[in-house]
């Protein structure tokens, strides 16, 4: 297939591009490089540098290339920043995807896999979250992703655009080759920050709140390896082609780890100790997010391979050791 990957120069997008190429697909990447990296894009993919909100750019993209399906990663995704600056998030995440969908309708492209998030659930009603649970985001980032899910639902009905919305839990880890990995600037995600602290690049690790209603008071998250996420995108695309049916799927390992447990796991994998300090809560953080991925397993035939926290951290540590300055 000819697959357009929007945001394919970013963390999860670049891993999905590697997987698509491994499976023999032709890949076109559209990315503004606002947070992505040119060198993260696989050599066999064609990179078009531009913004989804730029209508001329999108028209050129769709008229110059034969595109069978789209995978859309392009968005801003920092919970804290979205609370500080919600308009920035609505502008890029909602309007950007809207422009993409308009370009798809114009060009007659009718399949899309969309990056949604566990943040659509907000403070969950159940310990293990099902796709049918209530969605009530606690931050603007989650709201923008939920808004797009709704736009997709109505676009399916009106224009026949079939979609898979993949609600990832916490993406982590890096490609097994050590060639691509997580390099956000500034970095805000827990695992890379702990690894940077273990490597002596930060003085100490700050834990945002230890008064949550969890086993040790720190937030619980379900960490899922980026290569397993990449695999789920291919399987979601294959299912769209096979069944022509839209769907929403959680993607996680189904196991929750507290911030303190993740700190201990990185200390164990790296053999390094470092200071840890408790700070106030970060606004917008739900206390616990753990996925039921039963639906993705049954309907997509997806099984995560990196199913322990240690395996996930080991690949992230390898990436940081092989690339101490990230892509720079
Ligand atoms: P990332 O920032 O590394 O990648 C996003 C990519 O999109 C970047 O390459 C960026 O340059 C590009 N981009 C952003 N806005 C654009 C625009 N308007 N036009 C063109 N390109 C644009 O982020 P990531 O961590 O790889 O996340 C990818 C997607 O997955 C995002 O939509 C995010 O919301 C979602 N998600 C991420 C996580 C996680 O843990 N990282 C969890 C759940 C959902
Ligand atoms: N976190 C932390 N210290 C940090 C970074 C993150 O305590 O330096 C916590 C954060 O408050 C959240 C969890 O780690 O409870 C995971 O945060 P991350 O930003 O990695 O992912 P999110 O769950 O926000 O998508």
State the closest ligand 2 atom to the C-alpha of 259, by its place in the atom list counted from 1: 14
Measured distance CA(123)–CA(287) in Å, rounded = 7
What pLDDT does 153 receive? 98
Q: Which long-range contacts (CB under 8 A, 24 or more apart) does 157-160 make?
A: 159/105, 159/110, 160/110
* Span from the CA of 13 to the centroid of ligand 1 (angstroms): 7
Element (H, E) at 143: helix 140-159
253 alpha carbon, distance to own chain's centre: 14
Along the chain (328 residues), what's the average pLDDT of each consecutive run of 10 residues?
98 98 98 98 98 97 97 95 96 98 98 97 93 96 98 98 98 96 94 97 97 97 98 98 97 98 97 97 91 98 97 97 94
Reported pTM: 0.97
- Which residue from 29, 30, 35 has its CB within 8 A of the most atoms of ligand 1, so it is best to mutate? 35
What pLDDT does 284 receive? 80
Is position 90 annotated as part of the catalytic site?
no
What pLDDT does 82 receive? 94
What pLDDT does 1 receive? 97
Which protein residues are within 6 Å of ligand 2, measured from CB? 79, 170, 188-190, 193, 206-208, 219, 221, 259, 282, 285
Does the beta carbon of 9 sit less than 6 angstroms from any atom of ligand 1?
Answer: yes
What pLDDT does 241 receive? 96
Asked if 131 and 167 count as a contact pair (C-beta separation under 8 A), the reply is yes
């Amino acid at each position: 297939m000819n697959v357009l990957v929007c945001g394919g120069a970013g963390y999860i997008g670049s891993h999905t591009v590697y997987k698509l190429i491994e499976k023999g697909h032709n890949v076109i990447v559209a990315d503004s490089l606002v947070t992505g990296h040119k060198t993260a894009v696989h050599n066999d993919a064609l990179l078009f540098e531009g913004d989804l909100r730029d209508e001329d750019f999108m028209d050129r993209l769709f008229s110059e290339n034969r595109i069978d399906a789209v995978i859309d990663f392009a968005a801003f995704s920092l919970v804290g920043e979205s609370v500080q600056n919600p308009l920035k998030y609505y502008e890029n995440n909602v309007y950007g995807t809207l422009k993409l969908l308009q370009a798809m309708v114009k060009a007659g492209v009718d399949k899309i896999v969309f990056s949604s998030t566990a943040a659509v659930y907000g403070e969950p009603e159940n310990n293990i979250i099902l796709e049918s649970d209530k969605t009530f985001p606690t931050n603007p980032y989650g709201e923008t992703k939920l808004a797009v899910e709704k736009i997709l639902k109505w676009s399916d009905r009106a224009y026949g655009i079939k979609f898979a919305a993949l609600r990832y839990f916490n993406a982590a880890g890096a490609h097994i080759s050590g060639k691509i990995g997580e390099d956000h600037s500034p970095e805000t995600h827990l695992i890379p920050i702990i690894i940077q602290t273990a490597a002596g690049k930060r003085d100490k690790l700050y834990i945002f709140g230890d008064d949550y209603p969890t086993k040790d008071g720190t937030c619980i998250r379900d960490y899922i390896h980026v290569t397993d996420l990449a695999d789920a995108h291919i399987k979601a695309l294959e299912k769209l082609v096979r069944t022509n049916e839209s769907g929403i799927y959680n993607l996680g390992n189904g196991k929750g780890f507290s911030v303190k447990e993740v700190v201990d796991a990185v200390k164990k994998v790296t053999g390094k100790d470092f200071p840890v300090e408790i700070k106030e809560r970060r606004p917008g953080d739900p206390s616990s997010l753990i996925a039921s991925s039963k639906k993705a397993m049954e309907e997509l035939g997806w099984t995560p391979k990196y199913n322990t926290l240690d395996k996930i951290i080991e690949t992230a540590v390898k990436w940081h050791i092989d690339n101490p300055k990230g892509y720079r």
